[in-house]
Chains A and B, each alone.
Chain A
Amino acid sequence: MKIELIQPFINAADAVIGETMQCTAQAVDVSMDEGVYRKTGLAARVTITGDIEGRVIFDVTRDTAAKVAVCLSGSDAPPDDDLMRETVCELANLVIGNAVTSLNDQGFRFKVHPPEFHSSEAGLKGSEDTEALVMRFDTPAGSVFMNIAMQYHHRRRQDTQFD
């Protein structure tokens, strides 16, 4: 996966987490993964289609989700499961929406689908012959994981080979 596809996600995560949680998010670990993705806590998946196709999984521990939910909802009451799920989906929506905005400005055209809560314990294969990039961000509320599996759409990929 090319850095031009990855950097917007790092920038967006940093900006969105900073803006919504009023804190800094530091990318502390980046690795490649070809295996089945297994979530660490509560995970939301956003599918992207178009010039770039694939999916991004946004994954946080329950403890982190609870802290973020309290922070974002402005309520002191302990969040229930629904609110925590909504929080993870909305955070995913914000980060990925901002990242694809940046990618679109670079000339990529695609469609972002609504976030889906990923509840299966069985694991999730990204897409055929696509390795995933796993990033961990540390925030005062805990760790946030992003698992990005994307590739150029065939037509676009052929175009870029001739660039």
Chain B
Amino acid sequence: MEQFRALVRAQDRQPVRYLVVDDSIFARKNLSRIIEAFGGQVAGEAGDGCTAITEYDRILPDIVFMDITMPQMEGIEAAERIVHLHPNARVIMVSSVGYQENIVAALQKGARHFVQKPVKPELLYEVVKYVLGEDGIAVEPQEEVNGESVQ
């Protein structure tokens, strides 16, 4: 996989921490590989919306990748609940079902962006960078070793 300039947190130059929510273990593994290529850290995983809420409270990630179609509680409802409790939460919906209604519903419930599967890493990278805004910076991979200053 293509290696990207590492996305780190602007405040402390530490890797961006992600929560990956998908009922497919395969999809979670795939997203984890992509996160690794972004220089990020998978802080937690969840296989349904309920667990996602609990995990968010526990690890307070910088970014959430949230699937939509999941058992127990679907991703849009989980995103809504997370954003209700944590208004600054950055939730990016990642789903194969990418029709307009879903996208609009997700954005109305507080998701920041929507990426359709199969995920193109280069597209997801740009979306993460956009969603992080000034809270994230891209550095060369060797620059962010130990979270040291890179300037």
Complex Cα gap A97–B115 (Å):
13
Q: Please provide the chain A residues from 14 to 53 with a CB less than 8 Å away from any CB of chain B in the complex.
A: 16, 19-20
On chain A, the residues within 8 Å of B69 by CB distance are 93, 97, 112-114
Which of B6-14, B94-102, B129-137, B143-151 is the interface stretch? B94-102
Q: Does B117 contact A (CB under 8 A)?
A: yes
Q: Which of A97, A104, A114 has the most CB of B within 10 A?
A: A97
Complex Cα gap A100–B50 (Å):
25
Whether A94 lies near B117 (C-beta < 8 A) is yes
Given known A-B contacts A16-B118, A72-B30, A90 and B24 have beta carbons under 8 A apart: yes
Complex Cα gap A82–B116 (Å):
25
Shortest beta-carbon distance from A156 to chain B in Å? 16
On chain B, the residues within 8 Å of A114 by CB distance are 23, 69-71
- Nearest residue in A to B26 (C-beta to C-beta)? A86
Number of residues from B at the complex interface, CB < 8 A: 23
Shortest beta-carbon distance from B151 to chain A in Å? 34
Majority DSSP secondary structure for residues of B touching A? loop
Whether A101 lies near B99 (C-beta < 8 A) is yes
Complex Cα gap A19–B95 (Å):
15
On chain A, the residues within 8 Å of B84 by CB distance are none
Total contacts A to B, CB within 8 angstroms? 63
Q: Does A129 contact B (CB under 8 A)?
A: no
Q: Does A64 contact B (CB under 8 A)?
A: no
Q: Does B27 contact A (CB under 8 A)?
A: yes
Q: Does B5 contact A (CB under 8 A)?
A: no
Majority DSSP secondary structure for residues of A touching B? helix
Complex Cα gap A39–B42 (Å):
37
Q: Does B81 contact A (CB under 8 A)?
A: no
Binary per-residue interface labels of chain A (85-97) against chain B in the complex, 1 for a CB within 8 Å, 0 otherwise: 0110110011011
- Nearest residue in B to A83 (C-beta to C-beta)? B26
On chain B, the residues within 8 Å of A100 by CB distance are 97, 99
Whether B25 lies near A97 (C-beta < 8 A) is no
- Nearest residue in B to A46 (C-beta to C-beta)? B69
Binary per-residue interface labels of chain B (54-80) against chain A in the complex, 1 for a CB within 8 Å, 0 otherwise: 000000000000000111000000000
Whether B97 lies near A90 (C-beta < 8 A) is no
Q: Does A119 contact B (CB under 8 A)?
A: no
Whether B24 lies near A86 (C-beta < 8 A) is yes
Whether B25 lies near A101 (C-beta < 8 A) is no
List the 3 closest pairs (A to B, CB-CB), nearest first. A97-B96, A104-B99, A86-B26
